[in-house]
């Protein structure tokens, strides 16, 4: 499993630096998580101001 970023993302970038495996990057519409790289630690979800990140 991996965490996922929903359409509630406002592309603030707060989560990107928190990821220990650099799985988060800016996508076409909003930030996205590389499911193959994510280790499901949850560090990013705690930083999101809109609650857009959840366990997939």
Phi-psi region of 42 (alpha: psi -120 to 50; beta: other; left: phi over 0): left
CB of 40 to ligand SF4, least distance (A): 5
Please give the structure tokens belonging to residue 34.
């590389």
CB of 47 to ligand SF4, least distance (A): 8
DSSP state for residue 28 in the 8-state scheme: S
Question: How far is the C-alpha of 29 from the C-alpha of 23, rounded, in Å?
Answer: 17
Binding site residues, ligand SF4, CB under 6 A: 3, 18-19, 21, 23-24, 33, 38-44
**For ligand SF4, the closer CB: 29 or 55:** 55
CB of 44 to ligand SF4, least distance (A): 3
């Amino acid at each position: 499993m991996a965490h996922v970023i929903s359409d509630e993302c406002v592309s603030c970038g707060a989560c990107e630096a928190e990821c220990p495996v650099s799985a988060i990057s800016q996508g076409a519409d909003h930030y996205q998580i590389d499911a193959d790289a994510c280790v499901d630690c949850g560090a990013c979800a705690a930083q999101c101001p809109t609650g857009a990140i959840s366990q997939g």
